[in-house]
Amino acid sequence: MAITTCVFDAYGTLFDVAAAARLAAAEPGREALADIWPKLAEDWRRKQLEYSWLRAVMRRHDDFWTVTQDGLDWALEAAGLDDPDLRERLLALYWELQAYPEVPAMLARLKAAGLATAILSNGSPDMLAAAVASAGIGEFLDDSLSVESVGIFKPDASVYALVGGRFGCRPDEVLFVSSNGWDAAGAAGFGFRAAWVNRSGLPMDRLPARPHHVLSDLTTIPDLALS
C-alpha cells in the first residue's frame, strides 16, 4: 500500500528538546548551568517521558505542560540548582524550541509530492502551536494532533488511531516518524510504517514490535515515503 500520510512525533523528532538548556547555559550569569546542561537536559527529558508513561498506567492524565514542569523540577533538584529564575527561563525557552536543521526542507519535499503531513504528539495543543510557529514550519503541516483529545499519552493505541480519524487513511498508508524507539515500536505495532530517528545510536528497544526503518536524521524521510 502506498504511503499517503506522513506523521511525526514533535519533541526530539522535529524539535530539539535539548535547545532550552543549551541556550540558557550560554546566557550571561548562568555559570552554574554551563558545565552541566547536557545532563540536566537529559534528566529533564527522561523524567518528562517517565511521568507520561506512569500517568498513562495509573490512568491519572494531566496535560503535557504539567508533566514537563514536573520533569524539570526533578532535574533541577537532582542537579542541586535551587534557582527560580533559571526554572522560569528554561520553561520559557521550551515554548521556543528550535527545529532540527533538516526539518523545513524535508517537510517541503513531502508537501510538494502531495502527501498529507501532521504532528502526533503528547504535547498539548497550545504547546504544539507555539513550537510550530517558533520553528516557522506551519505551512508544511496539515494538522497537529494532540493526545489531549483522548486523555492518555502514547503509546496507547487510541493516540495512533487519531491519524485515521483525521485523514481517513488506513494504518498501512501512514509513515510514522519518531526519535523515540518505544514510540516508533508502538506505531509499528498499531500497523503504521514506522521510522525511528536514532540520532544517538542507541540500541533497539526490546518490545513486541519494531520500527521498519532506523535513520540517523530526517533527511531521507521523503525517499522512504515515496519509494
Q: Give the active site residue among 9, 16, 43, 183.
A: 9
State the amino acid at position 222 in one-letter form.
Answer: P
Is residue 70 part of the annotated active site? The answer reads no
Q: Are 5 and 142 in contact (CB under 8 A)?
A: no
Largest CA distance in the chain: 55
Residue 90, all three cell numbers: 528554561
Cα 129 versus chain centre, distance: 13
| Measured distance CA(89)–CA(83) in Å, rounded | 10
Beta bridge partners of 148: none
| Measured distance CA(148)–CA(79) in Å, rounded | 31
- Helix 84-94 to helix 64-78 angle, to the nearest 10 degrees? 140
Question: Could you give the 3-state DSSP secondary structure of residue 54?
Answer: helix
Q: Give the active site residues.
A: 9
